[in-house]
Amino acid sequence: MIKQYFSGTASLTRFILRRDRIHLILWIVLLSFFCVGLVPVFSEVIFMGAEKTAIIEMMKNPAIIAMIGPIYGEANYTIGAAYANYMLVFCVMIAGAMNIFLISRHTRADEEMGRLEVIRSLPVGRLSNLTSALVTALIANTFLTLLTTLGLYLFRAEGMDLLGCFVFGASLGVIGLFFAALTAVFCQLTANNRTAMGLSFLSLFLLYMMRAVGDTGNETLSLISPLGLVLRTQNFVENKFWPLIVIKLISFGLILLAFVLSWSRDLGSGLLPQKAGKKHASGLLSSPTGLALRLIRTAMIIWIITVFSFAAMYGSVFGDLEGYIEASDMLRAIFSLDGGSSLTLQFVVLLVAIMAMISTIPLLNFTLRVVGEEKDGVAEHILSKAVSRPKQMMAYLLPTLVLSVILQLLSAYGFWVVGSSVLEATPPLETFINASLLYLPAMWLLVGIATLLIGYLPRKTFLAYLYLAYIFFSIYFGRLMDLPDWVKKLSPFGYIPQYPLEEISVLPLVLLVAVSIALMILGTRAYRNRDMMTQ
């Protein structure tokens, strides 16, 4: 009797694996590369010529603990212990994001688009689709665990034994499975994919903040949060397995709950009552821009909070910056004092660039929603009215450009308000604002490239994200790996004046703005003239 609810699960699992073979391979390989590829850079840059006592003291800073977790293994602080301290929490969060996208795509998104109704018309069980999505997540997390374990063990840095490498990889897989299960529950509770993903990412953020608060004061909060619990493995030091077992048991409980909820609801509906709409819609919804703002409102708020939080956490390290950099020969070479500039100002220049690249992610996401709505068939309903395609494009471009200014201002304020509380010699707020706003032309150029792809290559819009990844590599690792200047000049960020270390040059900024506008115009014209695309 129960078996009939799961009939066809194997066939659906093979179908999902085939359908997502490119996305899954890219996610697994890139995440493994991110977790593994920084080992040689970490060991050569952070530990080369550095006093371990200086590193340990910096790690004891409450702000650092809030950002990456508590320090452990002080008695024998190996590269492995330090690497897990720095990297584990960020790696497991990315693994969680991967699983959120995976589960929502193959459950609530497919149901919302009517694909699941077609699948249900075939001889498959009522719970087969949810089961196949979770099985796919289990397979993906297993491969992620094995590939990361193998990659870490191949480097065999100090303190990285096979057991520790496996615990690091297993932490990614276990946290990934937890967020897959949590997302599956939200997909049963809500009636649309946007809300399900919003709740999932909000949970990821709240669990991270619980861990941050718990690690700096109340350890109970850290033990409640899986992101705090996974750090209790004390990777590459104690390699404890009980936190992973606890998280896995919680995940299985959430999976069971998802099955019960899925069995209890009707197709196309959610168990939570939807908020009753107003009798008369707001006048803003009568315009394409107002509708676009309503659709991306929640995501914009989440990104505003995220960007400010990251800027505040980066600003919290200003107090220990001088001593930490002076303890490392390599970092002293990177942040040279020959020009008379302070280490803080040089570090500010690098952090402002990094935050500008992080802020570019939501700009690309909101711009490319034009293609997403087109694939989903939603744009047809809008464009069948008295709405031109240029108006539809501008409905997302205008809020995106305004958001870019807001994010840069908040980033500057986050740096200053927290940095000034830990370091008296923190540069004035005006310096942070000027340095942040200077990156707007480069960010707008990325938006222009995304617009151009929408017009000419709507099925290749992922190239915008790949280009942003290259920019991050050239800027972030340019100093560490002493890359030639021409590598940096292949990105618009390479033409931004390094204020306050350099004088502001207006000509490159004007040219970047001009090219950005030209790309947006070309992309909009191409979007107006090409055929509509459907999935």
Question: CA geometry: angle at 495 spanning 395 and 341, to 5°?
Answer: 120
Q: What does the pLDDT average to over 196-204?
A: 87
Whether the per-residue pLDDT at 323 is higher than 70: the answer is no
* Per-chain mean pLDDT for the chain: 82
Q: What does the pLDDT average to over 442-453?
A: 93
Query: Dihedral (C-alpha) 147, 151, 153, 154: value to the nearest 10 degrees?
Result: 130
Task: Give the per-residue pLDDT at 238.
Answer: 87
Q: What is the identity of the amino acid at 33?
A: F
Q: How confident is the model at residue 393 (pLDDT cuts 50, 70, 90)?
A: confident
Task: Give the per-residue pLDDT at 147.
Answer: 94
If one compares 281 and 426, the residue with the highest pLDDT of the two is: 426
Task: Give the per-residue pLDDT at 264.
Answer: 83
Task: Give the per-residue pLDDT at 514.
Answer: 94
Task: Give the per-residue pLDDT at 179.
Answer: 95
Distance CA 229, CA 233 (A): 8
Task: Give the per-residue pLDDT at 167.
Answer: 93
Q: How confident is the model at residue 271 (pLDDT cuts 50, 70, 90)?
A: confident
Query: What is the rounded end-to-end Cα distance, in angstroms, of the chain?
Result: 36
If one compares 493 and 141, the residue with the highest pLDDT of the two is: 141
Q: What does the pLDDT average to over 465-481?
A: 75
Distance CA 381, CA 310 (A): 38
Phi, psi of 183 (to 5 degrees): -65, -40
Neighbour tally for 498: CB within 10 Å: 18
Q: How confident is the model at residue 249 (pLDDT cuts 50, 70, 90)?
A: very high
If one compares 317 and 235, the residue with the highest pLDDT of the two is: 235
Whether the per-residue pLDDT at 134 is higher than 90: the answer is yes
Whether the per-residue pLDDT at 51 is higher than 60: the answer is no
Phi, psi of 425 (to 5 degrees): -90, 20
For 35-49, 159-173, 346-360, 438-452, which range has the lowest pLDDT when averaged over its residues?
35-49
Q: What does the pLDDT average to over 325-340?
A: 55
Task: Give the per-residue pLDDT at 266.
Answer: 77
Whether the per-residue pLDDT at 338 is higher than 50: the answer is no
Q: How confident is the model at residue 328 (pLDDT cuts 50, 70, 90)?
A: low
Around 202, how many Cα atoms within 13 Å sit in the side-chain half-sphere? 12
Task: Give the per-residue pLDDT at 325.
Answer: 60
Neighbour tally for 175: CB within 10 Å: 30
Task: Give the per-residue pLDDT at 458.
Answer: 85
Whether the per-residue pLDDT at 180 is higher than 90: the answer is yes
Whether the per-residue pLDDT at 475 is higher than 90: the answer is no
Residues in the chain: 535
Q: What is the pLDDT of residues 31-47, one digit of tens each?
A: 888 888 777 766 655 55
The rounded percent of the chain whose pLDDT value lies above 70 is 85
Integer CA distances (angstroms), 494 to 252, 436, 488, in order: 48, 14, 5
Q: How confident is the model at residue 337 (pLDDT cuts 50, 70, 90)?
A: very low
Whether the per-residue pLDDT at 486 is higher than 90: the answer is no
If one compares 476 and 390, the residue with the highest pLDDT of the two is: 390
Task: Give the per-residue pLDDT at 326.
Answer: 60
For 268-282, 294-308, 347-361, 431-445, which range has the lowest pLDDT when averaged over its residues?
268-282
Q: What is the dihedral sign for C-alpha 265, 269, 270, 275? A: negative
The rounded percent of the chain whose pLDDT value lies above 90 is 25
Integer CA distances (angstroms), 296 to 95, 285, 302, 365, 407, in order: 24, 13, 10, 10, 15
Whether the per-residue pLDDT at 80 is higher than 70: the answer is yes
Distance CA 362, CA 450 (A): 12
Whether the per-residue pLDDT at 369 is higher than 60: the answer is yes
Task: Give the per-residue pLDDT at 53.
Answer: 66
DSSP state of 72: -
Whether the per-residue pLDDT at 144 is higher than 90: the answer is yes
Q: What does the pLDDT average to over 231-249?
A: 91
